[in-house]
Chains A and B, each alone.
Chain A
Amino acid sequence: MTLTGVQDPNSMQEEFDVIDQVIKGDHDLYRVLVDRYKSYAFTIALKILKDKEEAEEAAQDAFIKAYKYLGKFDKRSKFSTWLYRIVFNTAVSYKRKMKVQHSSVENISIEDSLNHSSAIELKDKRKFINQALNRLSDQDQVAVQMFYLKELSLEEVSILLNVNLNTIKVRIHRARQRLADELKTILKDEALTL
């Protein structure tokens, strides 16, 4: 499988074969799917829950749910899209249930590679951007972050969040506008313009 939004049809067929084998009772083969998608599943859960332990629990729970309902996967979409939607819904329900209010600063690692805006220290910048991200809705946070991770196509992100393609495009644009505005508010203008 490729690491972009487009999956090789042969690889998709190979994946469907694996799924068929798992449904027929070769449970250990599910390991192939877990190994392939665990990082992305965990990342989605972490973006929503902002806590590594909770995110790991939610991602595991999502894999178990996917296994239980594997027979219902109709193969009209990619397995990954179907799985990530389960991960998203599971993480959102974890957040609702457990009322996770942890600060995301320590747990989200947005690697910084900005060179031109040296006025803001890297650590502070990471903190401020996370603060700004936290002011967006769960859906907007996930939409914009999934868009930048570039593993899923825009269409897949729209399926994941259960909205149409145009809505997701607009949402990602608006989320970035809002992030810039929130960051400006946080930095009180001058830090950005230094």
Chain B
Amino acid sequence: MDNLSTTSDDKLLDFLDGNLTQSEIETFKSDLANSSPLQRRLEELRIIHESLQSQKLESPSANFTERVLRNISQLPVASFNPWRGVFILLGIAIATGLGLYVLSSGSADSLSVPINLQSFEIPGGIKNTLPSFSINMRTLTNTILFANTAIAFLILDRIILRPLFRSRNALNY
């Protein structure tokens, strides 16, 4: 587009697209008759215009539809349901809340469960070698709370966040 402006190109393209009014076409034709650069540019754009106009729709393979339907039939039935994850998380939150209440009340501090393995009926001579110990309820509650929190994060990631982001990425909205 050597000496021609973008405006001229727009006019030429509008002419090719059939977007000019009758009076604009008359003016355009008179401009065209007096300008060989404009005529040359019109030819350049016309080649592009007519080539693109002659495009046709492409057809996929004959079994395209069958393959799509076959793939669909193999899809897992379960679909993304954030509520399922929310309910599980709610359950974990309640359990953690109860655990924290027990801890903060101090009622678990003084409790301990003695475990004497020798009291079990175990055949053979190993019975006398088994130890006796006690489990402090505070330590047990702490461990359960820790495990609960870890499970909650896992569920949040696997059941809610990942499917959510995957579904957003798939549609790219």
Contacts and interface: CB of A to CB of B under 8 A. Distances in A.
Interface of A: 27-28, 30-31, 34-35, 38-40, 42-43, 46, 52, 55-56, 59-60, 63-65, 67-69, 71-72, 85-86, 89, 109-114, 116-117, 125-126, 129, 132, 144-145, 147-149, 151, 173, 176-177, 179-181, 183-184, 192-193
Contacts of A193: 40, 43
A176 B51 CA distance: 11
Given A39-B59, A59-B60, A176 B67 contact: no
* Chain B residues touching A, majority SS: helix
Contact of B67 (A60, A89, A112, A148): A60
A126 B46 CA distance: 14
A192 B49 CA distance: 14
Contacts of B58: 39, 42-43, 46, 52, 55, 109
A180 B52 contact: no
Per DSSP, chain A at the interface is: helix
Contacts of A114: 47, 50-51, 54
Nearest to B58: A43
Chain B: number of interface residues, binned into ranges:
35 or more
Given A56-B61, A181-B1, A27 B68 contact: no
A92 B69 CA distance: 23
B47 A39 contact: no
Nearest to B47: A117
Given A27-B69, A56-B64, A67-B72, A42 B59 contact: yes
Nearest to A28: B69
A109 B56 contact: yes
6 nearest A-B pairs in the assembled complex, by CB-CB distance? A148-B52, A42-B60, A89-B172, A180-B44, A113-B54, A43-B58
Contacts of A112: 51, 54
B171 A173 contact: no
Nearest to A36: B65
Contacts of A46: 58
